Structure 1
């Protein structure tokens, strides 16, 4: 088995989850890799809502999607992921993707924060349809903060185990605070 990056690990589960016609959310658009994957998977009959608070993220993502062979089945929003509930109905979303931290190659002072991330995660639970998946990558350490990681992990631990299955994995033998991949499945 070859070494797998966190984004590839999460993409495996996302690929199994998303079907043509699904509604999906990329809660932290970044450079558009997850938005592109979701658009490809849900195809022209589905729709992807992608959020970011940085113009640079929207510009990169828009260009990436225009250069790719994907349908125009997306809405790119210059807005906080904490407002995702303004765009989709409860119990309607198949997959929501979060990458917490800062925009790769961007300004490290503009990172996700515990308060808005937990607000967005809380809202995302009601948006998921039964069997829906949240893919969550928690980046921490250095300049991206441990406060958000610790707050999100605490929040995850307290989710109702009768309603949600939370699967946390670790790059256990990696130094320097490796990212933490988490899956949340609505039961």
Structure 2
């Protein structure tokens, strides 16, 4: 066994929980890596809802999905704080990569208020044993504030309703990403 970086570990966790026919959310589509991964997990009978403020992210992801013949995804060019308005199905999982679009405009970042709104929406939609993964990238202006806000929020989730895991490497420099996993009991 080899310890996995946060992003890879997020996929390991998701692959153990999400199955064919499930409904899932990619709350921060980015370049479509998680969207494609989730689409393959839920297969043709499942559904992936993807959200991103940046039109470039949506376009890159659309092309990626088309190239791989993945047709089970609905992409929304809006912020994840609007999840509740667009997703009515119960979900089995959601994933967030918090920070900015790699290779994109570093001034466009996820924000604490909208992120908490999105997490709350996902918690309301989450089925029993479902999981929400948060990968926090915080080595940029505004990142530490969001990280602290998110960690404070998840630390206070009712332990009778949710199990919350924090996964991080403590001997790495340059703010290594932190993975938070929330599972509904």
Q: Structures share a fold, TM > 0.5?
A: yes
Residues 8-157 of structure 1 aligned to structure 2 (within 5 Å): 8-70=8-70, 72-89=71-88, 92-157=90-155
Q: CA deviation at 1:151?
A: 0.5
Secondary structure of the residue aligned to 1:123 is helix
- Counterparts of 1:171 and 1:105 in 2: how far apart (Å)? 24
Residue of structure 1 equivalent to 2:184: 186
Runs ≥4 residues deviating over 6 A:
none
Residues 164-179 of structure 1 aligned to structure 2 (within 5 Å): 164-179=162-177
Residue deviations 1:64-114 (CA, integer Å, cap 9, x gap): 1111143x1110100111111122236x10110001000011100000000
Per the normalisation by structure 1, the TM-score is 0.95
Per the normalisation by structure 2, the TM-score is 0.96
RMSD: 1.2
- Counterparts of 2:171 and 2:162 in 1: how far apart (Å)? 28
Aligned residues: 185
**Ranges in structure 2 where 5+ consecutive residues have no aligned partner:** none
Secondary structure of the residue aligned to 2:127 is strand
